[in-house]
């Protein structure tokens, strides 16, 4: 990615930060199974020193903080100032003493070799500018035999939480075809793709596990529409190109498409993710 495009991508995350803060409680609940999967795959336990890469509004750092306990520690990282600010505010609000935060990009980690036991990233690897360099960096800063684990979305078709609204909006706004290697939520949905990157970067014992779960929350279709169209930068951009008069029709079409996932005031979408893990080999 050329530097200008990279800055644009980070600006988009900067604009998203306030929505990731606004929906903090819902996001924590909806994506909790992803954190649980990461913790299990990376064998995170009491007393460990854990690096979180691309921590966004604070997950999985906040959850891992209580798992590693007072004898362990978490280093939250994210390249976007707005994300670091909202995560720091939450760490302060909870009075957590074992979490530190650093603003940095995955491909240039400001830590000495072998600083951490484990490195993890929840829903961030697909946005890394240079994934092989980023994984090499993660491996550099963990100790021998330590785990690196990333959780990413599976195919769009298996994730209607994203596709229901996006597909409807795409019928009304022209969307140019995307480079499959460009940063995007579904960049690593193809089985083996991220695993290949871990292997290229020098990880050993690379394993890919499919995680099927449900995205549950007690929200209405209206609240779901608002959440999706606020949290997603690509949807915000597309919506801005629509004529206001088109909105009611589009919102209705999205509600019709989403209705089957809403029953008695509760939302429940099937979801699919991949957890890709490897270990640092002895040099
Ligand atoms: C979908 S959010 C996920 C945030 C959080 N881990 C979660 O699961 O809620 C993606 C995060 O990746 C971060 N990100 C984007 N480019 C990155 C990079 N080059 N290195 C590390 N993180 C990056 C964004 O700033 C954003 O906070």
Tell whether ligand 1 has an atom less than 6 A from the beta carbon of residue 221: no
R_g over Cα of the chain: 19
102-106 own/partner pairs: CB under 8 Å, 24+ apart? 102/75, 102/76, 102/77, 103/77, 103/78, 103/79, 104/77, 104/78, 104/79, 105/79, 105/129, 105/134, 106/53, 106/54, 106/77, 106/79, 106/134, 106/137, 106/138
Report the SS3 class of residue 33: helix
Q: Where are the extended beta strands (E) located within 108-203? A: 118-122, 147-153
Report the SS3 class of residue 6: helix
pLDDT, tens digit, 9 for 90 and up, residues 74-124: 999 999 999 999 999 999 999 999 999 999 999 999 999 999 999 999 999
Please give the pLDDT value at position 262.
97
Tell whether ligand 1 has an atom less than 6 A from the beta carbon of residue 154: no
Report the SS3 class of residue 172: helix
pLDDT, tens digit, 9 for 90 and up, residues 132-152: 999 999 999 999 999 999 999
Q: How far apart are CA 142 and CA 90, in angstroms?
A: 26
Tell whether ligand 1 has an atom less than 6 A from the beta carbon of residue 153: no
Q: How far apart are CA 62 and CA 75, in angstroms?
A: 10
Whole-number mean pLDDT of the chain? 95
Tell which residue, 87, 108, 146, has the closest CA to residue 280.
Answer: 146
User: Residue 91 Cα, ligand 1 centroid: separation in angstroms?
Assistant: 17
pLDDT, tens digit, 9 for 90 and up, residues 30-53: 999 999 999 999 999 999 999 999
């Amino acid at each position: 990615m050329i530097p200008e495009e990279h800055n644009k991508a980070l600006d988009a995350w900067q604009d998203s930060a306030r929505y990731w803060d606004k929906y903090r409680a819902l996001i924590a609940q909806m994506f909790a199974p992803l954190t649980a999967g990461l913790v299990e795959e990376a064998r995170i336990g009491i007393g460990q020193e854990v690096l979180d890469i691309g921590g966004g509004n604070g997950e999985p750092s906040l959850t891992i903080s209580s798992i590693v306990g007072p004898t362990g520690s978490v280093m939250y990282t994210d390249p976007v100032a707005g994300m670091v600010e909202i995560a720091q505010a939450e760490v302060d609000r909870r009075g957590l003493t074992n979490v530190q935060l650093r603003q940095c990009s995955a491909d240039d980690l400001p830590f000495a070799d072998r600083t951490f036991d484990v490195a993890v990233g929840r829903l961030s690897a697909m946005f890394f500018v240079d994934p092989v360099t980023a994984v090499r960096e993660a491996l550099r800063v963990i100790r021998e035999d330590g785990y690196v684990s990333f959780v990413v979305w599976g195919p769009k078709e298996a994730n209607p939480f994203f596709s229901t609204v996006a597909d409807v909006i795409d019928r009304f706004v022209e969307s140019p075809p995307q480079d499959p290697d460009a940063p995007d939520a579904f960049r690593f949905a193809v089985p083996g793709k991220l695993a290949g990157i871990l292997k290229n970067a020098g990880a050993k014992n690379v394993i890919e596990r499919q995680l099927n779960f449900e995205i549950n929350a007690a929200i209405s279709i209206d609240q779901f529409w608002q959440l999706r169209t606020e949290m997603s930068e690509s949807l915000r951009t597309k919506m801005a190109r629509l004529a206001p008069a088109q909105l009611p029709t589009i919102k209705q079409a999205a509600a019709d498409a989403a209705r089957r996932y809403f029953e008695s005031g509760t939302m429940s979408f099937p979801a699919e993710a991949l957890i890709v893990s490897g270990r640092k080999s002895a040099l």
